[in-house]
């Protein structure tokens, strides 16, 4: 929950830190464990060296003194002379044992040496506890190494020797682990600092993208993010700039299309409508040729109503492509080789049907671009949208024309009816002995019937001739 609220840069830094820490601890632990094994191996090797030196000296001493061990002589050697060397700087290197005990073949103590009076060797060791071969063991409580083996490994002198010497291997291991983890801690801190700096530096363009995206959301389309590199973030910035640019163009075109649509809806002259629509399409696309076809209901075929062509050698016309578009009820695309395409990609020529109320009103043909290249998907989409508005506008103008023609006819018929009614007598003459009524009501707007009262003179009346 807390991790989800952290900024992305902090998440990256945290992940890198955890990975570095885990890697560092693992590497440090493995290295420290390996060094620990090496320290134990060195310490046991030193213990074996002490044992071999002591065994050789005891063997020689036993043979020299006829099978006995002279305590005074041995104590002097082990205390003053045993394994002491002069270094290059005069320092003394010593590996004297802390205590040493020699037992005969029966397990009875034959000689004992100790560098302090606090230690006393047992007087007897059972045969089961006597070593049959060399053995070694580290005692953590007393911080010492115990080794045991035969007095004479080759069997010349019977007996067993037990040696103990102090060991600072635990202090060495503790110092090793402490130093190793201190170094690792310093490395982790440096890595965290570097990763934090690198993350902030690397994600700075992302922050710029976020701020730019927020401004775009508020309607400010004048945004451009600086491309800092050619990596994925640089590609993201480039894509963002292209998207904002395309979005800005689309919004501008949408406003322009809205104005054009309103303009088309205000045109009631069919010829002006055709010309205006052609001018709009040529302004939207870099086409070198344009043709608009409208379906003639009486002739039941498409007729070319307006065209524009800047080519030096214009072709006979895209009639076949127009027919396919109207038959299928969808836009047809051609590539530069004249092949049909299922989509707008690589389109250099297209025919768009004008459909209103699920029936074809007409179609428009867009020729090749004036420059080398093809039409973008965005341009094709806008042209298709304009075709929908044009289809509705053409249909409305046709309906308006039909309505105007009907109104004109009705006005003329009403005028004819008025004229015909004006030709009929307004008053009825009074004739003695007769009651006269006259009425003419046509079955349609006007009729061919007529009547009148004609005076023949001398009070006589006769029908009109």
pLDDT one-digit tens code per residue, 25-71: 788 778 778 888 888 888 888 889 889 988 999 999 998 988 889 98
Taking 90 as the threshold, does the pLDDT of residue 433 lie above it?
Answer: no
Mean pLDDT of 115-133: 86
The pLDDT of residue 384? 86
Give the model confidence (pLDDT) of 243-262 as tens digits: 777 777 677 777 777 777 77
Q: Is-same-fold flag (23-176; 268-402)? A: yes
Confidence of residue 88 (pLDDT cuts 50, 70, 90): low
Which CATH number fits the domain 268-402, given the four candidates 3.40.449.10, 3.30.365.10, 3.30.450.40, 3.60.15.10? 3.30.450.40
Domain boundaries along the sequence of the chain: 23-176, 217-253, 268-402
Residue with tokens 């074996």: 48
The pLDDT of residue 6? 60
Helices then strands, counting H and E runs in the chain, come out as: 9, 15
The pLDDT of residue 100? 92
Region at 107 (left for phi over 0; alpha for psi -120 to 50; beta for the rest): left
Token pair recorded at residue 436:
């006269």
As a whole number of angstroms, the distance between CA 317 and CA 312 comes to 14
Taking 80 as the threshold, does the pLDDT of residue 220 lie above it?
Answer: no
Taking 90 as the threshold, does the pLDDT of residue 161 lie above it?
Answer: yes
User: What architecture does CATH give domain 23-176?
Assistant: 2-Layer Sandwich (3.30)
Give the model confidence (pLDDT) of 370-402 as tens digits: 877 788 887 888 888 888 888 888 888 877 777
Taking 80 as the threshold, does the pLDDT of residue 233 lie above it?
Answer: no
pLDDT above 90 as % of the chain: 9
As a whole number of angstroms, the distance between CA 370 and CA 311 comes to 9
The pLDDT of residue 134? 92
pLDDT above 70 as % of the chain: 88
């Amino acid at each position: 929950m807390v991790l989800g609220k952290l900024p992305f840069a902090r998440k990256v830094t945290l992940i890198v830190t955890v990975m570095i820490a885990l890697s560092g601890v693992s590497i440090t632990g493995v290295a420290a464990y390996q060094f620990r094994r090496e320290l134990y191996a060195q310490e046991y090797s030193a213990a074996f060296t002490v044992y071999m030196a002591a065994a050789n000296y005891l063997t020689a001493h036993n043979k020299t003194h006829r099978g006995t061990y002279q305590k005074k002589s041995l104590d002097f050697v082990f205390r003053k002379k045993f394994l002491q060397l002069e270094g290059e700087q005069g320092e003394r290197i010593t590996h004297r044992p802390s205590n040493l005990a020699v037992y005969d073949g029966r397990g009875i103590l034959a000689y004992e040496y100790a560098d302090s009076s606090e230690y006393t060797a047992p007087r007897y060791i059972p045969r089961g506890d006597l070593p049959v071969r060399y053995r070694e063991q580290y005692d953590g409580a007393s911080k010492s190494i115990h080794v045991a083996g035969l007095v004479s490994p080759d069997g010349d002198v019977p007996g067993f020797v037990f040696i103990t010497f102090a060991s600072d291997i635990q202090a060495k291991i503790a110092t090793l682990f402490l130093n190793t983890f201190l170094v690792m801690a310093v490395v982790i801190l440096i890595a965290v600092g570097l990763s934090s700096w690198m993350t902030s530096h690397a994600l700075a363009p992302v922050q710029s993208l976020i701020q730019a995206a927020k401004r775009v959301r508020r309607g400010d389309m004048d945004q451009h993010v600086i491309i800092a590199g050619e990596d994925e973030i640089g590609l993201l910035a480039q894509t963002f700039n292209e998207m904002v640019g395309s979005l800005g163009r689309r919004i501008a075109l949408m406003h322009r299309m809205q104005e054009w649509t309103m303009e088309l809806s205000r045109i009631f002259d069919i010829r002006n409508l055709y010309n205006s629509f052609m001018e709009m399409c040529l302004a939207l696309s870099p086409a070198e040729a344009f043709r608009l076809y409208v379906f003639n209901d009486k002739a039941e075929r498409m007729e070319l109503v307006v065209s524009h062509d800047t080519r030096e050698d214009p072709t006979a016309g895209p009639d076949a492509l127009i027919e396919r578009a109207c038959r299928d009820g969808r836009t047809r695309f051609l590539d530069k080789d004249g092949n049909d395409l299922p989509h707008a990609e690589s389109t250099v020529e297209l025919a768009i049907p004008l459909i209103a109320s699920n029936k074809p009103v007409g179609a428009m043909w867009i020729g090749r671009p004036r420059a080398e290249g093809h039409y973008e998907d965005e341009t094709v989409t806008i042209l298709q949208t304009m075709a929908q508005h044009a289809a509705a506008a053409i249909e409305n103008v046709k309906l308006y024309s039909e309505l105007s023609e009907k109104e004109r006819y009705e006005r003329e018929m009403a005028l004819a009816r008025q004229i015909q009614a004006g030709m009929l007598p307004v008053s009825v003459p009074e004739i003695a002995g007769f009651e006269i009524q006259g009425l003419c009501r046509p079955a349609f707007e006007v009729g061919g019937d007529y009547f009148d009262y004609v005076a023949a003179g001398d009070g006589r009346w006769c029908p009109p001739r």
